[in-house]
Structure 1
Amino acid sequence: MSSTPFPFTAVVGQDDLRLALLLNAVSPAVGGVLVRGEKGTAKSTAVRALSALLPALDVVCDCRFSCDPGSPDPGCPDGPHEPGAFETRPARMVELPVGASEDRLVGALDIERALAEGVKAFEPGLLADAHRGILYVDEVNLLHDHLVDLLLDAAAMGASYVEREGVSVRHAARFLLVGTMNPEEGELRPQLLDRFGLTVEVAASREPDQRVEVVRRRLAHDDDPAGFAARWADEEAAVRARIVAARKLLGSVRLGDGALRQIAATCAAFEVDGMRADIVMARTATALAAWAGRTEVLAEDVRQAALLALPHRRRRNPFDAPGLDEDKLDQTLEEFSGSDDEDPEPDGPGGGGGQPAPDAGPQGGDTGARPEEGEGGEPQASGAGEQSAVRAAEPFRTKVLSVPGIGAGAAGRRSRARTEHGRTTGARRPRGTLTKLHLAATVQAAAPHQRARGRSGPGLVLRRDDLRQATREGREGNLVLFVVDASGSMAARQRMSAVKGAVLSLLLDAYQRRDKVGLVTFRGTAADVALPPTSSVDAAAARLESLPTGGRTPLAAGLLKAHDVLRVERLRDPARRALVVVVTDGRATGGPEPVALAGRAARLFAAEGVASVVVDCESGPVRLGLAGQLAGDLGGAAVTLDELRADSIAGLVKDVHSRSRRAA
């Protein structure tokens, strides 16, 4: 891959994405950008190209934390700094890998030297490298929760704090935060979505001419990166100069009472939580005016700010599509328009505040993602002989279903696991770098050897072998595999609606607990993997919503298909434990000896110790109890749809655990 980045101004289309990035370059106080969209839509290309447009920085010589020589950080770990000694360098773009450790992000303290020598030996992390530059997180939705919390806390406070066993280091960490994600791979929690100032939905253009231009420019860059960059040098220089001019103008921009009323009315009309949206909209509208070369915020700036700052704050659950009702937005702005917004058209460069950076070449076509596209869609038409899909009943809050025992999977909120974060349960010798010191165990290990080591003062004489790593217990995310009966016996509309509502409720619970989910359905003569294991619960909800019903009940085929899914997933992610949720009335029809075959298939799960729950969908005054028999063969427990809501489900985990032990 070439070391010459693709020019920012050569990116075809994606006007909203480019504008959001440029507004943050003008005013980092806007709070960063979250870019959502399908793969292959220039998300990473645009972010990496932005760093070349940022003005060069003056930094204190030999300062690992990029202190500004004009106002150095008084608490800088490399300080105090002598006045006058500085160098100029380009702004950095630092990438945070999804698999990074906490020490890699915030930096690491040498605990051994701190205890033995009383020295604060600190190795800076990525937050220090990104100070006064860009911190880019690709696939931010796959980043561990505790890392996202640390990242966003630093972004909000403008500083990073590292504390270990009473030793603390603080340094400045102000950066432009940019995250990209593919919603098909899972969503961010609403609390984290709110911490990004702006969000942009991107999608590939459907215009043939524009797609041709994308390919033409990409091939030209790959063939001759330096020559391609040279052809765009004038456009890049113009945008760079415009950023500098907008930064200088920013402090002079007036945000009048009329614009403030429009901002407040818009946030109230769309029922966003808290006040962060109002503040972000105000800063964005001010940046838009500065970018347009104006000193007054107009209604068009408020409108554009709303389109960038509010869509992700309106999501109440992962199945809500982001986006704004633009007719409602226009009506609100018109209702609260005032004299402050009745200014004449601006004369500054760039015209209206909503215009992106200058760009040469064909840019035709609208590349912005529509809120209604790619976010679940309408149910697919059912095939011949099928009963059409019915809508799910209103979801409800479920009790916790968890896998028995202690695992070691990815961090989450469902089952007990050994993790890097959580309550301390013991100590062990460190394997590799020490990250979580168990102080009491370390002192206890070193104490018997103090006389032999010639200890003469109050300090403790430590050796590497004395150090003890704390072992901790927290929670992990699991693979929740739904096996849903879509046969004719489940096809009554009211009944299937209740079943879908129950599965939707469990999907919401899986989203909150950071699980992966999968969906297997069975009907007619076979079973299908409607959704392979994924972190995108909204994709599972969309498949569930469009699920048709009808035909016989091949229960054995459904269980065997689920067994195959688990076998493949163990190879991909062996540490992640599974919870199988079978949603059925327990009937098995079709083929020779369907009931016996289903029993044998179920006992495969029991033999392997897979945790399972059967949601019994049987209804009516006469019940055959077939779901309970299936649960017994699975080595799990059965629960009715009503019990899924009730307190009686609290004993379910114990029942699953006891059955699993008997099966083992």
Structure 2
Amino acid sequence: MPLRESHYPFSAIVGCDTEPLDDLGLSLVLASISPEIGGVLVRGQKGTAKSTAVRALASLLPHVEVHRGDRFSVDPADPLQPSPDGPFPPGTAVESRAVRLVELPVGATEDRVLGSLHLEQALAHGQVSYEPGLLARAHRGLLYVDEVNLLHDHLVDLLLDAAATGRVRVERDGFSVEHAARFLLIGTMNPEEGELRPQLLDRFGLTVEVSAPTDPRARVEVVRRRMSYDSDPAAFAERYEKAERALSERIAAARGALRRVELSQAALLKIAEVCAAFEVDGLRADIVTARTAVAHAVWQGRTLVTLADIRRAALLALPHRRRRNPFDAPGLDEELLDRILGDEEPPPDPTPPDGGPTPPDGGPTPPEGSDAPDTPDDPADGSEPPEGPESGPDARGPEGGAPESAEADHPESDAAEPQQPAESPRAPEGSDEERPETAAGTAVKASAPYRPRTFTVRGTGAGADGRRSRAVGTRGRRIGAARPGEAAGTSLHLVETVKAAASSCPPGGGRVRLRPRDLRVAVREGQESNLVLFCVDASGSMAARKRMKEVKTAVLSLLLDAYRRRDKVGLVTFRGAGAELTLPPTRSVDVAATRLDQMPAGGRTPLAEGLLEAARVLRREHLRDPRQRPLLVLVTDGRATGGRGAVERSLEAADHVAALGVAAVVVDGESGPMRLGLAAGLAARLGADHLPVGEVNADALSTAVRERAA
């Protein structure tokens, strides 16, 4: 099989050039051997060869046979999958072509993904013709989504439907088309830019965490190879031609031998025990782990799935499925995994398995408790430890959570005053005597998040697609039509276009002529995402342990709601002598949750400084994206301390924020029978809604309403 055009070779990537392969190379190879695994999600920092490895993989896959001229790439040997371009007459040539690597841009339109009306045929010849989209082009190939976590929700919905059914059905503009769309889905993402929707995350069969190597010699080798490739790509690819050819032939042979691998009943039971022990949702994890174990076994040249295969498969298939919410770091407790698997290999079934083809999957054959077949000391697959997914949780603390102490990040908390009982009387307004939350260097953790009330920005915006506030955009119900450029719509409104063309016809009638000025696009009303900026009071007046825990839980719940609604979030905190932007606006909500968890409390209440810092952030973000409307969530009890004039400065700062015209909500952190009601007055000054912290919980509020109505 001839190699394709010059590209960076897969076997030249450090980590993919040795046996056993590292996590990235192994996951891509296993998914190529058994596409039923469901694809690969590659998570990692910038510049870790994610995209390079994916693009290099396409050249290793065996060619596919298609009918000449078939735009849908159906298998000529499969009569159950007809092509919309068919039926093809007898004698139609069948040709072999390379597997396509189709890239789905994050800014693609729905028409480009699904396909649309062929405008030239419709307008010039009066024929209704379907132009296939990217999903049709990717059939029997690779669909690659770079920065998949930034993909718009409407495109995510299309991918979910195609991944679940393997087919695409299009009903629009006077035609109906259904075609097969089975592809190997590969996504890459940088977790710092935001997390992936749980529904799409579960559709990826395998996930792998990648990071830059820490060994200086490995880094030098990466740089040396890259510079060599850039100076002469053809000569560099030629040096790896033999290794590429051998790797391609090995993948093809593994595909052919997949059905001969035996997955015993005992091995299936062990896989079920592993999935049940890690409390993954549903049964997709069991299926994917079994398929991956079989694929890995055949990759290692074995015909029987072993415990080592199951272990390797579990490390690739389960980490992203055990997450309970976006704030949980992916990872797997390998000690628990080893205890479940034990040391004794599952015996083969006494009789050959029946009931259909064996699930395609597998894992390496290392000795007891190891993944590598020849290096029992390696923790996973022979790659460097920082490259594996198991290194992620260790870097973030026990169980993949935040570090136990925030002392290193907040040295100023060492100067906090000793903690006093929560029942002690509060200092009078304007006093500098504030109680710290806890001992120096520690912070109260939030409880489990709940379903919060939904806050929206009033009016109708024009921001990016989301799920919070009303907006005119590219999705939603059609409410009218406009000329291109006058609205955010991009899809053609055919009826309004024809009506505009007909209105310019001569009075006596005649042929309708379509001119550029007659084009109309659909105007739709849907929902947008917003910038949700949290401004949190972390002073001593909020530092009583029970109250701060309640406040952090409320903010954590609102963060989770912002994640689900695809919002951008930022975090400003104020305590002691001033305010700081703890987290610049980002889509990485789990980073915001970690910063919140680490946030200590104590000291004075510089309310004015907190409001002014929030105003600076809002102005800066407005310059970056004028269409994105902000929502300010101020969490405070309304007290302002820090010397004479603190109250007056806070009121002036509130007027300054109110002049920006942003939507705001004041979450009142004051509790107890004796309340001053300062937060309510501050909300009135800001023109904001006022809400006690206990009423952020939507379930608690609805329960209270029902009790009052009873």
Specify the TM-score bucket, using the shorter chain as the normaliser. Answer: 0.7 to 0.9
Query: Is the counterpart of residue 20 in structure 1 residue 46 in structure 2?
Result: no
Question: Does the aligned pair in 2 maintain the 1:298–1:340 contact within 8 Å?
Answer: no
Q: Which residue of 2 aligns with 1:458?
A: none
Matches within 5 A, 1:305-344: 305-334=313-342, 338-340=346-348
Q: Which residue of 2 aligns with 1:662?
A: none
Deviates more, 1:119-128 or 1:523-532: 119-128
Q: Which residue of 1 aligns with 2:607?
A: 555
Question: Does the aligned pair in 2 maintain the 1:639–1:649 contact within 8 Å?
Answer: no
Q: Give the counterpart letter for 1:504 in structure 2.
A: L
Count of matched residue pairs: 636
Query: Is the counterpart of residue 173 in structure 1 residue 181 in structure 2?
Result: yes
Q: Which residue of 1 aligns with 2:696?
A: 644
Q: Distance in 1 between matches of 2:324 and 2:247?
A: 38
Matches within 5 A, 1:196-275: 196-275=204-283
Question: Does the aligned pair in 2 maintain the 1:4–1:226 contact within 8 Å?
Answer: yes
Deviates more, 1:54-63 or 1:30-39: 54-63
Q: Give the counterpart letter for 1:89 in structure 2.
A: R
Q: Give the counterpart letter for 1:158 in structure 2.
A: G
Query: Is the counterpart of residue 377 in structure 1 residue 402 in structure 2?
Result: yes
Selected match of 2:69 from 57, 62, 65: 62
Question: Does the aligned pair in 1 maintain the 2:666–2:691 contact within 8 Å?
Answer: yes
Q: Distance in 1 between matches of 2:324 and 2:307?
A: 28
Query: Is the counterpart of residue 124 in structure 1 residue 132 in structure 2?
Result: yes
Query: Is the counterpart of residue 78 in structure 1 residue 85 in structure 2?
Result: yes
Identity of aligned residues (%): 60
Q: Distance in 2 between matches of 1:196 and 1:428?
A: 39
Q: Which residue of 2 aligns with 1:618?
A: 670
Question: Does the aligned pair in 2 maintain the 1:113–1:121 contact within 8 Å?
Answer: yes
Question: Does the aligned pair in 1 maintain the 2:308–2:363 contact within 8 Å?
Answer: no
Q: Distance in 1 between matches of 2:258 and 2:285?
A: 20
Matches within 5 A, 1:391-410: 391-410=445-464
Q: Give the counterpart letter for 1:76 in structure 2.
A: S
Q: Give the counterpart letter for 2:595 in structure 1.
A: R
Shift of 1:271: 1.9
Question: Does the aligned pair in 2 maintain the 1:60–1:85 contact within 8 Å?
Answer: yes
Selected match of 2:101 from 93, 98, 123: 93
Change (3 A) 1:49 1:115: closer
Q: Distance in 1 between matches of 2:645 and 2:280?
A: 56
Q: Distance in 2 between matches of 1:184 and 1:88?
A: 41
Q: Which residue of 2 aligns with 1:599?
A: 651
Question: Does the aligned pair in 2 maintain the 1:116–1:462 contact within 8 Å?
Answer: no
Q: Which residue of 1 aligns with 2:558?
A: 506
Question: Does the aligned pair in 2 maintain the 1:210–1:363 contact within 8 Å?
Answer: no
Q: Give the counterpart letter for 2:402 in structure 1.
A: G
Matches within 5 A, 1:470-619: 470-590=522-642, 593-619=645-671
Q: Distance in 1 between matches of 2:129 and 2:371?
A: 48
Q: Distance in 2 between matches of 1:430 and 1:117?
A: 24
Query: Is the counterpart of residue 278 in structure 1 residue 332 in structure 2?
Result: no
Q: Distance in 2 between matches of 1:289 and 1:421?
A: 46
Q: Distance in 1 between matches of 2:698 and 2:386?
A: 49
Q: Distance in 2 between matches of 1:453 and 1:18?
A: 66
Question: Does the aligned pair in 1 maintain the 2:147–2:190 contact within 8 Å?
Answer: yes
Query: Is the counterpart of residue 417 in structure 1 residue 447 in structure 2?
Result: no
Provide the aligned C-alpha RMSD in A.
3.2
Q: Which residue of 2 aligns with 1:291?
A: 299
Q: Deviations over 1:571-617 (max 9, x none)?
A: 22221111000111111222552222222222223222200011111
Q: Give the counterpart letter for 2:387 in structure 1.
A: T
Q: Give the counterpart letter for 1:34 in structure 2.
A: L
Question: Does the aligned pair in 1 maintain the 2:481–2:523 contact within 8 Å?
Answer: yes
Deviates more, 1:528-537 or 1:364-373: 364-373
Question: Does the aligned pair in 2 maintain the 1:104–1:126 contact within 8 Å?
Answer: yes
Shift of 1:505: 1.0
Q: Distance in 1 between matches of 2:279 and 2:134?
A: 36
Change (3 A) 1:31 1:101: same
Query: Aligned with 1:340: secondary structure?
Result: coil
Matches within 5 A, 1:23-62: 23-62=30-69
Shift of 1:316: 1.1
Change (3 A) 1:577 1:236: same
Query: Aligned with 2:348: secondary structure?
Result: helix
Q: Distance in 2 between matches of 1:97 and 1:232?
A: 30
Q: Distance in 2 between matches of 1:312 and 1:47?
A: 20
Change (3 A) 1:215 1:636: same
Question: Does the aligned pair in 1 maintain the 2:149–2:189 contact within 8 Å?
Answer: yes
Q: Deviations over 1:423-474 (max 9, x none)?
A: 233333455998656677668768877995458xxxxx68567775432222
Change (3 A) 1:648 1:467: farther
Question: Does the aligned pair in 2 maintain the 1:69–1:84 contact within 8 Å?
Answer: no
Q: Distance in 2 between matches of 1:100 and 1:238?
A: 37
Shift of 1:130: 2.1
Q: Distance in 2 between matches of 1:488 and 1:555?
A: 12
Shift of 1:325: 1.8
Q: Distance in 2 between matches of 1:146 and 1:570?
A: 25
Question: Does the aligned pair in 1 maintain the 2:543–2:602 contact within 8 Å?
Answer: yes
Matches within 5 A, 1:451-466: 452-454=508-510, 463=514
What is the TM-score with the length of structure 1 in the denominator?
A: 0.88
Shift of 1:139: 0.6
Q: Give the counterpart letter for 1:424 in structure 2.
A: R
Shift of 1:179: 0.3
Query: Is the counterpart of residue 10 in structure 1 residue 17 in structure 2?
Result: no
Change (3 A) 1:410 1:614: same
Query: Aligned with 2:41: secondary structure?
Result: strand
Deviates more, 1:329-338 or 1:97-106: 329-338
Query: Aligned with 1:251: secondary structure?
Result: helix
Q: Give the counterpart letter for 1:257 in structure 2.
A: Q
Shift of 1:142: 0.3
Query: Aligned with 1:80: secondary structure?
Result: coil
Q: Which residue of 2 aligns with 1:427?
A: 481
Q: Deviations over 1:89-144 (max 9, x none)?
A: 32222211111111222222136965996633222222233222211111100000
List gaps (5 residues or longer) in structure 1. 456-460, 651-664
Query: Is the counterpart of residue 368 in structure 1 residue 388 in structure 2?
Result: yes
Selected match of 1:164 from 154, 164, 172: 172
Q: Which residue of 1 aligns with 2:379?
A: none
Question: Does the aligned pair in 2 maintain the 1:165–1:437 contact within 8 Å?
Answer: no
